[in-house]
Structure 1
Amino acid sequence: MRDDARSVTPPLSQAPSSSYLALAEQDPSRVEDSTRSRKLLVLDLNGTLLHRSPHNFQPKSRYRPGVQEDRKRDRHGNFLPRLRPVHPRPYMPAFRDYLFHPETKEWLDVMVWSSAQPHSVEDMVERCFGEHKDRLLAVWARDTLGLSSDHYCDPSRPSDDSTRPPDVDVSAQAHSALTTLLLDDSPRKAELQPFNHVCIGEYSGEQRTAAASASASASASASASASAAAAAAAEAAGETLEASGEQATATVATESDAPPADAMPDVVYDSTLLAVIGVLDEVKSQANVAAWIRAGGLWGPHGPPSEKGPHEVGVPEEQKMWFEHADVLAYWTGRGRKALEELGIPVEHGIER
């Protein structure tokens, strides 16, 4: 139970500065050479790139002589909390390969900034990026947020102060609001720099369960279809053998024996990361990221919804975000797929059963 007598750190101002707003109000413009205007992508982890299962609280076990604990310890020798299961978002393999493709690296720096504790961030980064994690420009965890010891283990504390990354020289180019994007599932994470925030929908436990079930069903259907095709091919080959003992022509199964594409199960996974690739493909040519987002760039060719247009009952139009509009999400998803194809990157969803 929370002790209401505890002191609480006053919240920081949540209003953008006048200088930031002036920069964002500039007219969007394009650059001819994207390598001369490198961008910085700041990635959140939980809810954005992955779903981390909730804590499974267990009673503390008594000390048992001779029994070795497999848990990691901190630098003081204390046991760290147990790691929670991590499930990457659909298309994380394709997203990762895009971020670190040689052509992408010519114009994009990538870093991770999470409010989780360092040992948890290390595990999540490993699950998302694997052997590519060393290509990240930086990995910042809860120990970089400047929290007091009272707040360090409090998950309710605001996690990201988005004013910091753009002002930190973490590469050969000092990044700013002109060049920085924060990818995060929380609309409040970038209140000080709202026009550098690409907000996306949270990847929840329900979505993870649905994706795993869809993957299992698709695999089972594909196996059944392949088995049926093989059986049909074998039966056709057997029917060509004549009782007279004449030499039969062997029937070789070809791609035509496989079920047609429209007969395969139509599994639709969350395409958010594909859409983000599409957004990045456009942002690389923008001279001022904040100005592009403020001008409605995330809405693509559709443009932001008109404030004077019809509103859905109970859902004010101005509260809906770009990814909540099917046509907008479909546009960026299609552009993301095209960007992957141009780089020769397989569009793999990577969902494990």
Structure 2
Amino acid sequence: MTTNALSTSERKLLVLDLNGSLLFRPSRYKKSNNGGTNVRTVLSRPYVTPFREYLFHPETSRWLDTMVWSSAQPHSVDHMVKRVFGDYTKNLKATWARDTLDLTPDKYKKKSKTVKDLTKIWNAFPTFSAQNTLLIDDSTDKANLQPWNHLFIKEYGEEERRHDMRVVPALRKNPAIKEPEFDISKLAERLRSNLRVNDAEKQKQPDRYDDTLLAVIGILDALEHEKDVAAWLQSGGIILCGKESEPSFPGGVIGDRWFDQNVVLDCWVERGRATLGRLKINEVVGVVKEVI
């Protein structure tokens, strides 16, 4: 296995959101063990364990740096990071919280709209730029300054959590899930016709855990060898699922809900699973009733 790190200029940077992306925080609070500020309960998104093992696997760390940027306050971010990353916390390049968003004192204390301006990161870490940075966030508003560096993912909230808690008995009844084949010609025709999946026409999802993080692993695997992250996203790399584009393909769409198109989601999930298999990382779902 090749583990020699790439030169600084060749590395990529992954910027991760926390709440709604890697975890769900219900409104209930947990009493602090050290007498400090009480913190909200933290429930992980399915497949967080293999996701973090992938991020910090020697083969991945060879080309990828990972940091956290959350709009939550520092004490909450610290709690979430420790629960999600555990012993891998020390491997994060940086952990940024609400105090990095240049908010007024009034807005800092209230739940207000925030924007993650990636130029702040690029100023702090000059080797990174629009060409080699990917922000993963469940909010398009937070990424509106650099939309082509944003991988928009479905929010993991109360509804998604309840669904995952119901999946176990459903899978026992029907353990076999057939994955659809990826047909780029049909997808290109759909996009040419400007037919976008919306809430009214979402395809019915089979009974299975939220597998967004498996798809993200697949996407990161594809990005490893791309020279320009923003250009790849703008050209429709997500929708194309790593395949060659057709001349008439319209390209990417800012804020595209690619995860609502089963055929696209499934192809990235399969690539993610293949990547975990290649790296010998166990595919642990990790959905439990207790706090992670």
Q: For 1:352, what is the secondary structure of its paired residue?
A: coil
Taking the TM superposition and a 5 Å limit, the aligned residue runs for 1:154-233 are: 154-169=110-125, 174-215=127-168, 217=169
Q: Which amino acid aligns with 1:274?
A: L
Match of 2:55 among 99, 106, 127: 99
- Is the 8 Å Cα contact of residues 23 and 42 (structure 2) preserved in structure 1? yes
Q: What secondary structure does 1:147 align onto? A: coil
Say which of 274, 283, 288 aligns to 2:228: 288
Question: Considering only CA atoms, is the larger Rg found in Structure 1 or Structure 2?
Answer: 1
State whether residues 140 and 255 of structure 2, in contact with CA within 8 Å, keep that contact through their aligned partners in structure 1: no
C-alpha separation in 2, matches of 1:94 and 1:86:
18
CA contact (8 A) 1:91 1:350 kept: yes
State the TM-score, normalizing by the size of structure 2: 0.77
Q: 2:117 touches 2:146 (CA, 8 Å); kept in 1? A: no
Q: 2: CA distance between counterparts of 1:70 and 1:85?
A: 13
1:46 alignment counterpart: 19
Aligned amino acid, residue 41 of structure 1: L
Residues 308-328 of structure 1, C-alpha deviation per residue, up to 9 Å, x if partnerless? xxxxxxxxx997422121101
Question: What is the CA deviation profile of residues 20-62 of structure 1, one whole-angstrom value per residue up to 9, with x for unaligned ones?
Answer: xxxxxxxxxxxxx993421100000000000111257xxxxxx
Name the structure 1 match of 2:282.
346
Q: Label 1:146 to 1:279 Cα distance change in 2 as closer, same or farther (>3 A).
A: same
Structure 1's 128 and 303: CA in aligned 2 closer, same or farther, altered over 3 A?
farther
8 Å CA contact retained: 2:74, 2:98: yes
Work out whether residues 34 and 284 of structure 1, in 8 Å CA contact, stay in contact via their aligned partners in 2: no
Larger deviation, residues 95-104 vs 206-215: 206-215
Structure 2 distance, partners of 1:131, 1:44, is: 19
Give the TM-score normalised by structure 1: 0.64
* Contact 1:166–1:180, Cα closer than 8 Å, also in 2: no
Which one of 73, 77, 86 corresponds to residue 121 of structure 1?
Answer: 77
Number of corresponding residues: 250
Instruction: State the Cα distance separating 1:168 from its structure 2 match.
Output: 2.3
Amino acid of the residue matched to residue 126 of structure 1?
A: K
Using the alignment, how far apart are the partners of 2:25 and 2:244 within structure 1? 34
Question: What pairs with 1:236-251 in structure 2 (closer than 5 Å)?
Answer: none
Could you tell me which runs of 5 or more consecutive residues in structure 1 were left unpaired when the two chains were aligned. 1-32, 57-68, 74-79, 223-259, 308-316
Structure 2 residue aligned with 1:18: none
- Aligned residue number for residue 192 of structure 2: none
Q: Residue by residue, what CA displacement relative to the aligned partner does 1:94-141 show, whole Å, maximum 9, x if unpaired? A: 101000101100000000000101111011111111111111111001
Please say if residues 12 and 63 of structure 2, whose CA atoms lie closer than 8 Å, have aligned partners that are also in contact.
yes
Q: Is the 8 A contact 2:5 2:61 kept in 1?
A: no
Separation in 2, partners of 1:71, 1:147: 29
Q: Percent identity?
A: 44
- Unaligned residue ranges in structure 2 (runs of 5+): 177-205
